[in-house]
Structure 1
Amino acid sequence: MFKTRLLSGIVLIIIALATIISGGDILFATTLLISLIGLSELYKIAHLERKLLGMTGYVFTIVYYFMLRYQYKQYFMYFIMIFLVLVMIEYVILFPKFKADEIMIIFFGLFYVSIMLSYIYQTRLLEDGAYIVWLIFICSWGCDTCAYCVGMLIGKHKMAPKLSPKKSIEGGIGGIVGAALIGAIYAGVISQYLQSGENIIIVWFALICALGAIISQIGDLAASAIKRNHDIKDYGTLIPGHGGILDRFDSVIFTAPVIYLLATVIL
């Protein structure tokens, strides 16, 4: 299992490197594909992935991404209202085929998966986005790795025993400190390519990664809570040793919009 997980992780890193460095339409298409797969995994837990409501979610995910691609973000509120009204029309016309909680999953899924993951692409579009976007993965996967190592070594106090029995408070703190340290080292390496002074960038990157790591762990636990509510171990089997897209990107979902926000406010 460890070998399979390691090999899958290496492949994921290679794909991330290739798509994020390329940016543009390659990253756009990859992020859209990941969002659609992740959305289908979420809908699958309610058996909606192949039904009309699920199809509506997929279509509006595609529409949303092309709004980003062609810079129509100013119409976002109209987009959301149309999506909500259309879903409610389907709910009413097909009643009682669908339940109210299924409608909530359809609406929630668009935000939780598609819109939040889109901030990977949106962060890449920022000034210096080619460098800033990597903070998303430092906060997510870097924090996860550091938390795992520290938890294995000295973890004694359970963080959330009902959600994730193996996670410890010590591991959580180690993940935050580790992400901040990686962020500072990363800033030291790439600071010469950025606009701000080197010392300022190192401090800001460390702070952003620390905050992002906290949010990352909340995202991880939130995904676990959804799985516990529906009695499933993994969202899917697409990534050997890791599960589905949502199993691997559960923390990225939360971290991506936070890094985008912090980058636009602080940097």
Structure 2
Amino acid sequence: MQQRVIWGAIALAIFLPFLLMGGLPFQFFVGLLAMIGVAEMLRMKRLEFFSFEGVLAMLAAFVLTVPLDNYLSFLPVDASLSVYSLIVFLILAGTVLSSTYSFDDATYPIAASFYVGIGFHNLVTARMDGLDKVILALFIVWATDIGAYMIGRQFGKHKLLPKVSPNKTIEGSLGGILAAVLVGAAFMLFDKSVYAPHSFLVMLVLIILFSIFGQFGDLVESAIKRYFGVKDSGKLIPGHGGILDRFDSMIFVFPIMHLFGLF
């Protein structure tokens, strides 16, 4: 626990300045995190991330994350998606250029780049709309994690999905949702503009949904790790694992927040 706290504080101290700066430094930093996340996905499947498919998959996640049209004015407004599509086509072209590279081989790096890239893309989009939206999402995810851990440890008796994550309980999951609602409500009372265009009560319902999606994001990564027989997605942050271990919930939360018009 001491190691987790120390390295968690170090990771936060690195992340927060970029988050506060916003703009190009934050976007490129998040793009780098997306590339590392894809590299972790490839490593779990024991694929070489400096291979043809690995480099293209990491590049695909980067261009999907960073809004290219903001810096290359001659590109269309959907430049990131367009360039991402071209890179996907290049990965698929490997099925033609190599007799041993099949469509099945190409789908994993493509899926990995989209899974990671779309979550970080929405993180960047949220920060472009306002710092408060990102902070709200972070508070929801952190409150869910802490609430689920504390309530689950004290009162957890009924397993949630033991085949996916044997330590998680239904009581812990409900405790995480309750913690997210309480923390989210407190933040909304402090910053009333953060839940526009919704009302306070509607936003409380949405926070429940966001908390549930965050837990699903965590469970999805747990299922991936269990399938490949690994404990953590990586070893970048001692005591915490890799980038995906820290951002798995947020990858799910930010797109659903965007869907409901919060940014």
2: distance between equivalents of 1:40 and 1:130? 28
CA distance in 1, matches of 2:195, 2:189: 13
Aligned-residue sequence identity (percent) comes to 31
- Match for residue 85 of structure 1 among 82, 89, 94: 89
> Which residue of 1 is the match for residue 123 of structure 2?
120
The AA in structure 2 aligned to 1:18 is: P
Indicate if the aligned counterparts of 1:184 and 1:203 stay in contact, CA closer than 8 A.
Answer: no
CA-to-partner distance for each residue in 1:93-130, whole Å, 9 max, x for gaps? 1220x34433111110121002221211101112xx21
Name the CA distance, whole Å, in 1 between partners of 2:125 and 2:172.
Answer: 30
Please state whether the residue corresponding to 1:15 is helix, strand or coil.
Answer: helix
| Aligned residue identity for 1:111 | F
Q: Which amino acid aligns with 2:108?
A: I
Match of 2:39 in 1: 40
The alpha carbon displacement at 1:159 in A equals 0.2
Match of 2:29 in 1: 30
**1:258 is the counterpart of 2:256:** yes
SS at match of 1:234: coil
- Asked if the contact 2:38/2:58 (under 8 Å) is kept, the reply is yes
- Tell me which amino acid in the other structure corresponds to 1:61: A
- 1:152 matched residue in structure 2: 153
CA contact (8 A) 1:139 1:210 kept: no
Q: How far did 1:83 drift?
A: 2.6
Please name the residue that 1:12 is paired with.
11
Q: Within 5 Å, which residues of 2 pair with 1:163-178?
A: 163-178=164-179
For structure 2, the 5+ residue unaligned runs are none
Residue number among 232, 249, 252 corresponding to 2:230 in the alignment = 232
CA distance in 2 between counterparts of 1:136 and 1:263 reads: 14
Cα separation, 2, equivalents of 1:123 and 1:174: 27
CA RMSD of aligned residues (A): 2.2
Contact 1:147/1:173 (CA < 8 Å) preserved in 2?
Answer: yes
Report how many residues are paired. Answer: 258
**C-alpha separation in 1, matches of 2:119 and 2:191:** 26
Runs in 1 of length 4+ with deviation above 4 angstroms? 193-197
Are the aligned partners of 1:187 and 1:205 in contact in 2 as well (CA < 8 Å)?
no
SS at match of 1:167: strand
The 5 A counterparts of 1:98-109 are: 98-109=101-112
Change beyond 3 A, Cα 1:54–1:152: same
* 1:125 alignment partner, SS class: helix
Query: Could you state the TM-score of these two structures normalised by the residue count of structure 1?
Result: 0.88
- 215, 226, 232: which is aligned to 1:217? 215
SS of 2:224 mapped into structure 1: helix
Return the TM-score normalized by structure 2: 0.89
> Aligned in 2, Cα 1:75/1:69: closer, same or farther, shift over 3 Å?
closer
SS in 2 for 1:236: coil
Q: Which amino acid aligns with 1:27?
A: F
**Gap change, CA 1:10 and 1:206, over 3 Å in 2:** farther
Aligned match of 1:63: 63
